[in-house]
Structure 1
Amino acid sequence: MPVGLRRPATVLLSAVVILPFLAGCGSSSAKKGSGTTTAGHLDAASITGAVGEKIEVTWRKKLTTPASAKVTTLVKGKGAKIATGDTVSAYLWIGDGTTKKVAYSDYTNGSAESIPTAQLSGVVAKLFENATYGSRVAAVTTATDLLGSSSGNSDLGIGASDNLVVVADLVKKVATSPTPSDDQAHDVPASQLPKVVSTKGKPSGLSWTGIAKPSLTTPVQRVVLKKGTGAVVKATDTVTVNYLGETYQATTPFDQSYTKTALTSSLSNLIQGWKIGLSGVKVGSRVLLQIPPGYGYGAEGSGSTIPGNATLWFVIDVVKATSK
């Protein structure tokens, strides 16, 4: 998915919604750790490797069903205690103790997740409770307790009755952006946002003449440049769009699809500013959105093209919307 669109990683927001976001979400840059451990007190497995660098698990036997989720600190980090409301850069690993296979690993995917602790619940929340930065914490649990479902998940190879080990390497605190003043789209005059520049009839950039840099707490601003006549887009829809995105006073877009292929994606898998800004817009419309970093890529940004705390502007042509 294009770098300027995919939803930042908030993978384990709750036990119920863990799965939809495991693949293809954003990343955070995590400082490498230095601790190692052998978890002999997890009867079924030994867990080794440096915190924040790698994890290696040797299964000694099949994992038996725990009476309730049990959390164990394998390595106690020397950092500060994780506070309520912190966003934590963490490497997550899920092992299926029934099949003795890896169900999910951030180490395999190559990047840590930025996880807001305020949005956690259930087994996952227990991994962060009273923990310190630099720690490696493990939970022994069941598929039902972790996923909030009695059917398991075939995408991860987890059966309904499987027992799991969940490991979190809690590397560092992630800086966060200021919270926007509200979570609504505000329709504003076209003069308040940059003008769309076109080449051969297609958007190719934005003109920043006379446009002041907005406050980081400014909510989503929207201009409907062309009003469509199709169905109204809902936050739960899958949309097909053409788009172009820039940061403030950029000379070139950080991403665009007008000369490539239109994007099709569920709005729930894209940055929150898109869901806010496109909800209520009719198919066939062209809109211009101004999205604060709190609803974009936050204090960390994304890759080399979107710096931290960057406000984003998008021209979006809504081609199609499909409801679930």
Structure 2
Amino acid sequence: MTMEAPDGQVNLTPGLYLVATPIGNLRDVTLRALDVLRAAALVACEDTRITRRLLDRYVIATPMKRYDDHSSDDDRQRLIDRIKAGEAVALASDAGTPMVSDPGFKLVRAAIAQGVEVVPIPGPSSVLAALCLAGLPTDRFSFGGFLPEKQVARQNALNEALRLPGTVVVFESARRLPASLADLAAIAPDRPVVVARELTKHFEEAVRGTAAELAARYHKDGPPRGEVVLVIGPPDEADPDAADMDAALRAALRDLSVKEAASAVAFMLKLPRRQVYARAVVLSKGPEGE
């Protein structure tokens, strides 16, 4: 918890403070986040070089310690021990909100298990920023994290995401974006998609279109530069039930080749053959393919 002293200084009670940091524009940091970063005994962060730019910008001299995916149980325990000894420790990701696709999860779980107070300091989030500018429904949405690197796993993840009733937000590297859009277009060519790039930065861009249109665009132009967030619109109410397609494909694959099964099910359910074939390839690999 934060308490303001008569002299305007902020005093922090012992705890782990999850501080959201800018995703691009350093002016997006909140006043409360700056208070916590100044008053904490230590800032644990993914990359001290990146966090140093933020601290220097606001003349904050709090010591930093690297905490990332390679940190050990001992590293986590040392941070928790400092909190138990009466200190406030701030956890900051390279960009955005801690716990959203960053290494904070294990630390927060360990802190909770040991009775340490965990305090969220909300602020910038690329997930919400992309969702807001996409112009797609926001009454229900899901976050899918990073898409898998390997094609079969990625196709399976996209198939699962496309079954969800609301808008879906996923992270993807710029380098793999053309391949992911091609996979998406093969499954649901008419689904509305937004490629949100370089959010809050000078070259911020939102490219809108159907999955097929954007797949064609990035196949021609190649990968864009910068950080990418992919926003996929919800299925149309008239879209067929994906479970029905899977059931039909599994039945057909018992006796037919992938190509034959896809053709038969596409004809039976009146679906685009490319969409059915992409799913048939995944199902044909068995449980490990899913």
TM range (shorter): under 0.3
Structure with higher helix content:
2
Q: What TM-score do the two structures reach when normalised by structure 2?
A: 0.24
Structure showing the higher strand proportion among its residues: 1
